[in-house]
Amino acid sequence: MLEETLVLFKNIRNPKYDKSLAGYKNTGGFKSLKKVFGMKPEEVVQEVKESGVRGRGGAGFPTGLKWSFMAKGTGKPSYLVANADESEPGTCKDRELMLKDPHLFLEGLMIGSYAVGCHHAYVYVRGEFFPAIKILNAAVDELYADGLLGHDPLGSGFNLDITIHTGAGAYICGEETALLDSLEGKRGQPRVKPPFPAVSGFNGCPTSVNNVETLACLPFIFSDGGVESFKSFGPQNNSGTHLVSLSGHVNSPGVYELRMDVSMKDIIYEIGGGIRNGKKLKGVIPGGSSSPVMKADEIDVLYNFDDLAKIGTMMGSSAMMVFDEDTDVVKLLHRITRFYAHESCGQCTPCREGTHWSRQIVRDFLNGNGSEEKLKRLDRVGGNMLGTTLCALGDAAAMPIQSFVNKFPEEFRKYYATT
Amino acid sequence: MAQQENEGWLTEKWMQHVADICEVPLTHVEGVVTFYTMFRLKRPGKFHLQVCTCVPCCLVGGTELLEHTENKLNIHAGHTTTDGEFSIEEMECLGACSFAPAIIVNEDYHEQVTPDKMDKLIDQLKQ
């Protein structure tokens, strides 16, 4: 029987765990930070590279490598920003970490700040997360009161402040450059890259933006023997555990911490308890609503970055949305296209127009006005968004459209065969 | 913050106030306000029901929950009841997908909400 591997959820799964600073310290909290303060920042970056941890926000970019791109000797301050704007449909893992073990994440943020030479770190939390915002603010206050933040924590000679900044409701602000614009008090619209944030980010200074879960991995990586254990939790290049947000038609939806060498089939049937009401599986959206959909016969695959990429989809933010045989995939795609039409920032024409056109075409099918020509047009509108926009939202909108059309064409045809 | 001071919505007077403090033109403030969904230019109800119907929620009854709520309060999403008590807003992903369907009432999350639970919640809030 498949079980969870507890690294990030070690405390959360303990029903007696006290998430206050004292409770976190009792479980060995801040030992890693102390160890890190005894190392040189370059050594810390090297160690993170060695661990192979990849960004958990969706792109899967190696974290150590991202940090090594940070411009040095510019005379400007460096910033580390935690991306807590969790808004990819299906994803609810960072919320768990922030609500139930805030100090684990904050220790990770402090380790990261030391590594990139940041003296003022920001946490950009989505505005709707009212409970998490309160908890994070209280946790930061505790750290200041304890002397772990501010001037010279643990006698390290390193100064660090943390500010919790709230968003105001925009999916696009999860994109790192839009997030930085939003943090600066502007509309959250993605920037032209290059320059990348590592060179010119927050207020034009070198900045690294990292996901909450990625940062929460750091205390473990810097515990004794952490790097080796971390690497052992998955195949090469897919190290560590990850938090899987399982939702949709399974018997036991939830957020589960799993190794990266378990199959999707086992996750759905063993961890998720199978499909509810004894129904059959029809498909899975494997990594947030942006990822290409998979059919039921494709799920015998390891759930990690590389194995999913090999079969033409992606693990994204590890958000698995499962749907059963009774699901109308045209309606499902309509809901997805509505989401992107609502969330497009309107900056690039292919995305601004394409997201609305695709929504209208799918709606035509639902209204009984579908046709073979429209099915082809839908696929084409998707193709025109792919790779033609400043940020990945265009791709994110295109991938579900094209995969739904290509994998379930008969479902669309049902809508015009009968009319 | 201006929105919180003004019962959850913004007027031009408040936006001008923010523009003065930040030393930016009013148009800049209006641009930001209209970009984000959490800034409101209409007064919400005393209890603002934000119902998620995004992908994971719609798979397990979020859309039906929204319809149920609209029928119960006899208003459409985007509107406020005539007594000013309740308003409904259809939301995109609230980030509580494994606990769907999710709603937020003012600042509180409620998870795995069924039409029954919604009825009870509304009745409670009315008191």
pLDDT at A418 over 60: no
Chain B residues with CB-CB distance to A285 below 8 A: 55
Kindly report the pTM of this predicted structure: 0.95
Phi, psi dihedrals of residue A147, rounded to the nearest 5°: 85, 5
> Which pLDDT belongs to residue B1?
65
> Which pLDDT belongs to residue A416?
87
pLDDT at A99 over 70: yes
> Which pLDDT belongs to residue B8?
82
Beta pairing class for A319-324 and A281-285: antiparallel
Using one digit for the tens of pLDDT, what is the confidence trace for A7-30? Answer: 999 999 999 999 999 999 999 999
Chain B residues with CB-CB distance to A87 below 8 A: 92-93, 95
Q: What average pLDDT score do residues A300-314 get?
A: 96
d(CA A214, CA A44): 15
Q: Do A339 and B98 touch (CB under 8 A)?
A: no
d(CA B15, CA B29): 6
Q: Which of A83, A128, A255, A338 to mutate to test the interface with B (most CBs of B within 10 A)?
A: A128
Of the candidates A127, A50, A53, A143, the one whose C-alpha atom is nearest the C-alpha of residue A86 is A127
Using one digit for the tens of pLDDT, what is the confidence trace for B67-106? Answer: 999 999 999 999 999 999 999 999 999 999 999 999 999 9
Pair B98, A92: CB distance under 8 Å: yes
Of the candidates A19, A246, A300, the one whose C-alpha atom is nearest the C-alpha of residue A135 is A19
Domain ranges in chain A with CATH number 1.20.1440.230: 329-417
State whether residue A403 is helix, strand or coil: helix
Could you give the ipTM of this predicted complex?
A: 0.94
- Taking residue A37's Cβ as centre, other Cβ atoms within 10 Å add up to 17
pLDDT band for A117, please (50, 70, 90 cuts): very high
Kindly state the tokens that stand for B54.
């995004």
Mean of per-residue pLDDT scores for chain A: 96
Q: Which among A89, A126, A187 has CB closest to B55?
A: A89
How many interface pairs between A and B have CB atoms less than 8 angstroms apart?
Answer: 113
Using one digit for the tens of pLDDT, what is the confidence trace for A258-299? Answer: 999 999 999 999 999 999 999 999 999 999 999 999 999 999
Pair A394, A354: CB distance under 8 Å: yes
Domain ranges in chain A with CATH number 3.10.20.600: 242-324
d(CA B49, CA B102): 11
DSSP string, A244-301: EEEEESBSS-EEEEE-TTSBHHHIIIIIS-SBGGGPPEEEEE-SSTTSPPEEGGG--S
Using one digit for the tens of pLDDT, what is the confidence trace for A127-174? Answer: 999 999 999 999 999 999 999 999 999 999 999 999 999 999 999 999
> Which pLDDT belongs to residue B127?
87
Domain ranges in chain A with CATH number 3.40.50.11540: 21-232
CATH number of A329-417: 1.20.1440.230
State whether residue A189 is helix, strand or coil: coil
Pair A69, A210: CB distance under 8 Å: no
> Which pLDDT belongs to residue A68?
96
Q: A242-324 has which fold?
A: Ubiquitin-like (UB roll) (3.10.20)
The CATH architecture to which A21-232 belongs is: 3-Layer(aba) Sandwich (3.40)
d(CA A389, CA A378): 18
> Which pLDDT belongs to residue B2?
66
